[in-house]
Amino acid sequence: MKEKECQNIKAIITSLLDSYRESESTINSNFACQLNHSAILTVIDKLRQLMFPYHFGKKNISPDFLEYHTGELIEEVIFDLVKEIECALRLRKNMESVSGEDFKTQAREIVLKFLSKLGEVRCILSTDIDATFDGDPAANSKNEIISSYPGIYAIMVNRLAHVLYQLDVPLIPRIMTEHAHSLTGIDINPGAIIGRRFFIDHGTGIVIGETTIIGNNVKVYQGVTLGALSTRDGQALKSVKRHPTIEDNVTIYSGASILGGATIIGKVVVIGSNAFVTKSVPEGTRVSIRNPELRFTTKQECRDCLDISCMELGQEGFWDYQI
């Protein structure tokens, strides 16, 4: 039995090795350097501690030790992130023509530039928290928003990932935002440009594409899509503006879809729930769809009704309401 099991395992190994060779043109497995996803997630956690030192990580940090604590976290982020960015650069470029030291130097320079932006990111995040508190009557405090709101977590990760995206770091920004996506249901591509006081309410099902531009003081509810009209040309669209531009003070209610790179939503526009928008909307406009007609029918009325559509509703021919 043991010998047969060993033969089965060898067959499994052989099958996998064959698949590696067959798929090498699309999935290159011959890399000495591999990204450590756990390390990247650890970096996100440490960056969140740097953004909100009194809410996450070590508890009861004395103000007297905040400088030491911050310095310790910065050192740990540098150590982890330099290694991961170096690896990402190796995976993207031809390793044979450039020495490993060049990659390490480049990665360290990128990390230091990234860290120099943290203060700015934190200031912008504070405006997002203000907008969330001002816009949500269910919020009891800003501490509650920081500690528990998925929208703030998704925005935080996206703003940090966007800085790395701007620094032309491959792979890692997308890993960061997809991690936030998996936790919150909010899918924001790291390439999206987002202004101050961005408020995501509830958030589940929101999709914001790579070339989206969002102005200041924009409010977005659950299920909103800021997407492309078509992706049928695939990679040929890579450098094309595919997603809409949302100007300042716009509100987009749940389930709305706004599509297309040429679509511009003007200032102070309100987009109603479930609207499907593929053309630009002038400043100050309200966009809505007509409410569906509700039909209320009692059981007796339904039994007396000869309408085929009514009789097909079920064995009793009755629903509480029909939309």
Tens of pLDDT, residues 254-278: 999 999 999 999 999 999 999 999 9
The whole-number pLDDT of residue 30 equals: 56
The whole-number pLDDT of residue 189 equals: 98
pLDDT of residue 307 exceeding 60: no
Q: State the pLDDT confidence band at 290, using cuts at 50, 70 and 90.
A: confident
The whole-number pLDDT of residue 96 equals: 46
Q: How far apart are CA 18 and CA 205, in angstroms?
A: 39
Mean predicted confidence (pLDDT) in 184-188? 98
Chosen CATH of 192-291 out of 2.160.10.10, 3.90.420.10, 3.40.50.300, 3.30.70.1380: 2.160.10.10
The full 3-state SS of 179-226, as one line of letters, equals HHHHHHCCEECCCCEECCCCEEECCCCCEECCCCEECCCCEEECCCEE
Secondary structure E strands in the chain: 187-188, 193-194, 199-201, 207-208, 213-214, 219-221, 225-227, 245-246, 251-252, 257-259, 264-265, 270-271, 276-277, 286-287, 295-296, 321-322
Tens of pLDDT, residues 58-105: 777 878 888 988 999 999 999 999 999 999 998 887 544 555 568 999
The whole-number pLDDT of residue 306 equals: 53
pLDDT above 70 as % of the chain: 87
| Fold: same for 30-183 and 192-291 | no
Query: 3-state SS of the chain: helix, strand, coil percent to 5?
Result: 50, 10, 40
Q: State the pLDDT confidence band at 321, using cuts at 50, 70 and 90.
A: very low
Rounded to the nearest 5°, which phi and psi values hold at 104? -65, -45
For residue 66, give the 3-state DSSP assignment: helix
Q: State the pLDDT confidence band at 323, using cuts at 50, 70 and 90.
A: very low
pLDDT above 90 as % of the chain: 68
271 exposure class (CB count in 10 Å sphere: 0-12, 13-18, 19+): buried
Q: What is the pTM of this model?
A: 0.85
Domain ranges of the chain: 30-183, 192-291, 293-323
In angstroms, how far is CA 35 from the centroid of its own chain?
A: 20
CB within 8 A of 9, min separation 6: which ones?
Answer: none
Q: How far apart are CA 229 and CA 225, in angstroms?
A: 11
Tens of pLDDT, residues 4-34: 889 899 999 999 888 888 877 667 655 667 8
Mean predicted confidence (pLDDT) in 187-210? 97
pLDDT of residue 301 exceeding 80: no
Tens of pLDDT, residues 209-249: 999 999 999 999 999 999 998 777 778 778 889 999 999 99
Q: How far apart are CA 131 and CA 322, in angstroms?
A: 38
Across the chain, mean pLDDT equals 88
The whole-number pLDDT of residue 54 equals: 87
Closest CA to 254 of 202, 306, 318: 202
Closest CA to 180 of 200, 87, 219: 200
The whole-number pLDDT of residue 309 equals: 52
Q: How far apart are CA 100 and CA 147, in angstroms?
A: 40
- Per the CB < 8 A criterion, the answer to whether 294 and 323 are in contact is yes
Q: State the pLDDT confidence band at 296, using cuts at 50, 70 and 90.
A: confident
Looking at domain 30-183, which CATH architecture does it have?
Answer: Orthogonal Bundle (1.10)
pLDDT of residue 113 exceeding 90: yes
Q: How far apart are CA 136 and CA 5, in angstroms?
A: 60
Q: State the pLDDT confidence band at 302, using cuts at 50, 70 and 90.
A: low
